[in-house]
A and B are shown apart, each in its own frame.
Chain A
Amino acid sequence: MFRRIRALIVKELLAILNDPKSRAILVVLPLVQLGVFPFAATFEVDSIRIAVWNPDGGVASRDLVARFAGAPVFHPVVAIDGRPAIEAALPAREADLVIVIDQRFSADVAAGRPAAIQLLVDGSNSNTALVTLSYAREIVRDHAAAIGPDPPARLATRALYNPNLESAWFILPGLLGILTTIASLAVTAFSVAREKETGTFQQLLVTPLRPAEILVGKMVPGLVIGLAQGAVIVAVMHGVYGVPLAGSLALLAGALAVFLTSVIGIGLAVSAIARTQQQALFGAFLFTVPMVILSGFATPVENMPGWIRTLTLGNPLRWFMEIARGVVLKDLPPAAVLNLTWPMALIAVVTLTVAALVFRRRAG
């Protein structure tokens, strides 16, 4: 029995890896993406373009403008004149932030009265708008502190696990989950569908292999390819990007194997249902996209409404995302990893059972 399964696994792997184009897809593209995405996936806001209308023109207001111009995130700072220029600057995306200084600003500062300014931002990207505003308020606060009394208490803030708050450290462990999902899911989803489309599935069914054995033979290649890709990603993450590997590699590998098994279950079910490769691709997509979106990869799960959060419990990628980030950056203790792994194991049992049931119905 083992010899039969092994032969099938070898055949499946050869079918994928013998084709130079599939090989390139599975090896080169993920590497290219590892080179691009960590730089792209950033919420940082840089080169904020400012337009200033300063009808006051006194020393105090010019000092404030100079403080904005001196901050590295604000660039360039342009002077504009009059209401119409303000009304035009934001809609045309010529400026990200418009500062309007009250015409009595310098006089108010000199007299010790509160001096007024107005900050206008473009809210069409709400995240950028909030970050821009918080930078601007920081500058205003610094300036107020420089010309007024010191506050009696301050915050001493320090970030643990990722001291420089680098987005790449957050994104790379996430990509480990996403890229391996895409590869394993596609390899398994296409495996049966391709045989159906080319007509070789009937041949496979008349071999001495039992349906369960065929299923295992179709499972293993996805697992092997996903794990191999995972190893390369971890190596690049640590070796090229310098992300520390705080936790245990063995824990990470074990969790990845459980995670991939649950994904492969989905792939097999899709493959058993699909009659053509287009349907398999559609099915793979139908699962990949919501899995990525509801995983916390780009936006935190805590920000989602309650019922969507409940939905994410059934998403294996959500659990793996937490494990990958926890193990890589925080040295998550084994007990905590186990706590996050068993839901994935449960999902794997469900998806594999469904796959086996569908497969038996379609094969029989």
Chain B
Amino acid sequence: MSRAAARRLSALVGKESRQILRDPSSIAIAFVLPAILLFIFGYGVSLDAEGVPVAVVVEQPSPQADSLAAAFAGSPSFDPVYPLHRTPAQRLLRLGEVRAVVVVPASFEADLARGDAAVQVLLDGTDANTARIVSGYADGVLSGWLADLARERGARTAPVIEAESRIWFNPAVRSRNFLIPGLVAIVMTLTGALLTSLLVAREYDRGTIETLMATPAGVGEILAGKVVPTFLLGMASMGLSVAMAVWLFDVPLRGSFLVLAGASALFLTAALGLGLVISAATKDQFVAGQLAILVTFLPAFLLSGFIFNIDAMPPAIQAVSHLVAARYFIAIAQTVFLVGTEWSVILPNAAALAVMGVAFLGLARALLVKRLG
């Protein structure tokens, strides 16, 4: 780089930095938004259902039926109410006040003696995931109760197969531990997209783009001037997010912090690049802002493996998810946080991020050159 170019670049970086510092909303986007998001997510998002409200209906009281009904109260998974009939119980289900209705039928005692009793479970299928979890809990309660029953009767209590399960990397199965590393990616997607998507569009809106273009600075230098300060801001907000994850939410950081920072830098480049592409392509702040929400935040939330499992999506959607940079970063972040510095996971994902970063920045440059030509 010649000395003149270096001076131009430093002037541009200075101009963009001052613009950022002068507008409190940029600082807020980089620091306040991540803090609020991590706070709400860290405390608010949990897939761990406990004390699920259920209605248990005993159609005909009998020692066995009552004992099974009591087993539901004994389980920490459930918080049962006991309506007397099926109709009010189903009404509670419709109003969403209970997640399931368990009906112990009038013939339970007699059926049990014959060894062929059925307990009806009606699930609220609206929330399919919770319904599945609740169904599993109910299975657990019944198996526990049956084991107790067998023990009382002096039958062989040991099950035929004993399956011992171990959950690695997250033994307490805290959903927070896997959500928060992903959240760091979401926060950085937001910072990247929000900060950059308006950067070029604003110059068009205000008509200052011509002024900028009339200077000796080339398109690449103008872009670099916009990328450098936002990149630094983005890295600072990433540092804040990781610090909150480790110290506030006790998520273990088992791998190397430097590797995480390196991957963040690659990811941030891709996120900023996408924001600049949006900005250069739309030239209008309203459109750029809407587009930024719709093509960065929602895909990063839904198509990245942050909450929803990519492997279970249909192949076409899985193909689309390969275009979402957050997907690669989340794979790295979850691994570095919970598993360790596992290069076989990190390297391919980092390579994908690098390719995306170069492609987006190149595209943004090409768009700007074309618009001006």
Contacts and interface: CB of A to CB of B under 8 A. Distances in A.
A352 interface: no
A275 B41 CA distance: 29
Given A126-B174, A299-B307, A303-B46, A114 B159 contact: yes
Interface in A117-145: 117-131, 133-134, 136-137, 140-141, 143-144
A330 B297 contact: no
Nearest to A164: B125
Nearest to A282: B25
B174 to A, nearest CB: 6
B303 interface: yes
Contact of B121 (A19, A44, A121, A155): A155
Contacts of A332: 94-95
B125 A160 contact: yes
Contact of A161 (B33, B125, B136, B342): B125
A313 interface: no
Given A119-B163, A285-B194, A126 B47 contact: yes
Contacts, number: 364
Given A124-B335, A125-B178, A126-B173, A159 B123 contact: yes
B124 interface: yes
Contacts of B142: 153-155
Given A37-B302, A160-B125, A285-B190, A308 B44 contact: yes
Contact of A159 (B125, B146, B342): B125
B372 interface: no
Contact of A153 (B117, B133, B295): B117
Contacts of B96: 322, 326, 330
Contact of A278 (B26, B48, B287): B26
B244 to A, nearest CB: 16
Contacts of A130: 133, 173
A182 interface: yes
A112 to B, nearest CB: 8
Interface string B102-139: 00000010011001111111111111111111011011
Contacts of A235: none
A46 B41 CA distance: 26
Contacts of B202: 277-278
Interface stretch (A165-173, A205-213, A216-224, A257-265): A165-173
Contacts of A161: 124-126
Contacts of A66: none
B93 interface: yes
Interface residues on A, range: 35 or more
Nearest to A158: B122
A33 B294 contact: yes
B16 to A, nearest CB: 13
B168 interface: yes
Interface in A318-338: 322, 325-326, 329-333, 336
Nearest to B41: A293
Interface stretch (B221-229, B231-239, B312-320): B312-320
Tell me which of A124, A129, A290 has the highest count of chain B C-beta atoms within 10 A of its own C-beta: A124
Interface residues on B, range: 35 or more
B208 interface: no
A26 B112 CA distance: 60
B112 A152 contact: yes
A160 B118 contact: no
Contacts of A289: 33, 37, 190, 297
Contacts of B290: 22, 25-26, 29, 182, 186
B313 A40 contact: yes
A39 B317 contact: yes
B280 interface: no
B338 interface: yes
B165 interface: yes
Contact of B48 (A137, A190, A303): A303
Nearest to A190: B286
B162 A45 contact: no
Interface string A85-120: 000001111000000000000000100011111111
Interface in A19-45: 19, 21-22, 25-26, 29, 33, 36-37, 39-45
7 contacts: A115-B162, A151-B146, A152-B116, A166-B128, A194-B285, A293-B45, A300-B49
